[in-house]
Amino acid sequence: MIDVSRKPTTLRQARAEAFLRVSPEALRIMREGGLPKGDPLPVARVAAVQAVKRTAELIPYCHPVPVEHVAVDFEVGQEEVRILVAVTAIYRTGVEMEAMTGAGVAALTIYDMMKMVDEQMEIRSVRLLEKRGGKSDHRDRFDQPLRAAVLVLSDSIAAGEKSDASGLMICERLEGEGIEIVDYSIIPDEADTIRSKVLHYTDAQHCDLVITTGGTGFSPRDCTPEALHDIFDRDIPGISEAIRLHGQARTPYAMLSRGIAGIRGRSIVITLPGSRKGVADALDAIFPAVLHSFRMLWMDASPVHEAHPPGPTDTGAPADTPAPADTAASMDTAASMDTAASMDTDTATTPEAS
């Protein structure tokens, strides 16, 4: 089986359909309640639900999924029965196999209960209509690549006593997301140096994203949060919360990270732990969904989002201009509700690429 332990848990939905060709005479007998085994549709509905819940026992490489909801509907035509199955789960992997298995087993159940009145029945197809919740649904596309800087904060690495692994891992992941790396630097754990370097990235180079690694622990020299917090216009607590929540499910030490994230001008700054494992978990937790933050940031044209002019008088204090209501967040909420509602309809759509 594929290892999905690094994936974040998200809402997963899938819809599938199956078509069973049946003679008009057999359908007439079914409508009139004349089948020897009884009405096949209620039995097929139960069979589909059971099949969805036991898909991992039937398909060898499917992961057991904690299914939250199954909906089964039938459309009886003149010469066919269309079976629609919708599955919802909150998990790390999709539920398209569960939806297709449910539709297929429902078709087989109807076949079994009607075969004595129609020997020419045929299951014509079982196919996926739609799936949602994977990375492709949370990946934003940009006309121009985002620009990022990666900053490694470590006395020992800056002194040449150790080699960097975490910073290089961040660079590799960002490049894999299509982000341009404009600078990669290593500096010691000095608060003034850290602040000055990040301000250079945000105010002079106008980087979209700045990611630091190191300096978020409890050592007397760990000062990254203290060095950067006061330069933020606004905090983004959800990013750090997501990182710690994701990490805590994998190591009991994730809660000890003091990492923070925030907005300065039109830049987003994220501070990650210094360990390679901590960085790997953090990147898995926030990418690619974190890239949507730039859509939200760019929709807001308030003065607080204009880049701070660099200069010797810039103390890094937060802007005094209050931030307006976050209209982008409300739009995202409405869009999510529309998406969820569409899953309950019978409108067929083309499956999206995974």
pLDDT in tens, 220-246: 999 999 999 999 999 999 999 999 999
Same domain, 168 and 283: yes
DSSP string, 70-99: EEEEEEE-SSEEEEEEEEEEEESS--HHHH
Same domain, 75 and 199: no
Instruction: With respect to residue 337, please indicate whether it lies within any of the assigned structural domains.
Output: no
State residue 324's pLDDT score.
39
Domain count, the chain: 2
Same domain, 168 and 316: yes
Half-sphere exposure of 228 (CA within 13 A, CB side): 36
Same domain, 99 and 216: no
Instruction: With respect to residue 349, please indicate whether it lies within any of the assigned structural domains.
Output: no
Instruction: With respect to residue 66, please indicate whether it lies within any of the assigned structural domains.
Output: yes
**Catalytic position from the list 3, 39, 73, 112:** 112
Main-chain phi, psi angles of 83, to 5 degrees: -115, 130
Same domain, 151 and 80: no
State residue 2's pLDDT score.
87
Same domain, 33 and 85: yes
Confidence of residue 344 (pLDDT cuts 50, 70, 90): very low
State residue 135's pLDDT score.
62
Same domain, 78 and 191: no
Q: Coil, strand or helix: which one is 102? A: helix
Confidence of residue 311 (pLDDT cuts 50, 70, 90): very low
Q: What is the average pLDDT score of the chain?
A: 85
Annotation says 112 is catalytic: yes
Instruction: Encode pLDDT of 49-69 as tens digits.
Output: 999 999 999 999 999 999 999
Instruction: With respect to residue 190, please indicate whether it lies within any of the assigned structural domains.
Output: yes
Nearest residue to 91 via CA among 14, 195, 156, 202: 14
Of the listed ranges 50-59, 150-159, 242-251, 343-352, the least confidently predicted one is 343-352
Same domain, 37 and 143: no
The residue-averaged pLDDT of 63-82 equals: 96
Same domain, 120 and 220: no
pTM above 0.85, yes or no: no
Instruction: Encode pLDDT of 184-207 as tens digits.
Output: 999 999 999 999 999 999 999 999
Question: Do 30 and 114 touch, CB atoms closer than 8 A?
Answer: yes
Same domain, 154 and 204: yes
The residue-averaged pLDDT of 255-262 equals: 96
Instruction: Encode pLDDT of 299-309 as tens digits.
Output: 754 444 344 43
Q: Which domain holds residue 153?
A: 139-329
The residue-averaged pLDDT of 152-180 equals: 96
Same domain, 72 and 152: no
Instruction: With respect to residue 4, please indicate whether it lies within any of the assigned structural domains.
Output: no
**CATH of residue 230:** 3.40.980.10
Same domain, 147 and 296: yes
Instruction: With respect to residue 53, please indicate whether it lies within any of the assigned structural domains.
Output: yes
State residue 112's pLDDT score.
97
Q: Coil, strand or helix: which one is 201? A: helix
Kindly give the pairing relationship between strand 209-213 and strand 147-153: parallel
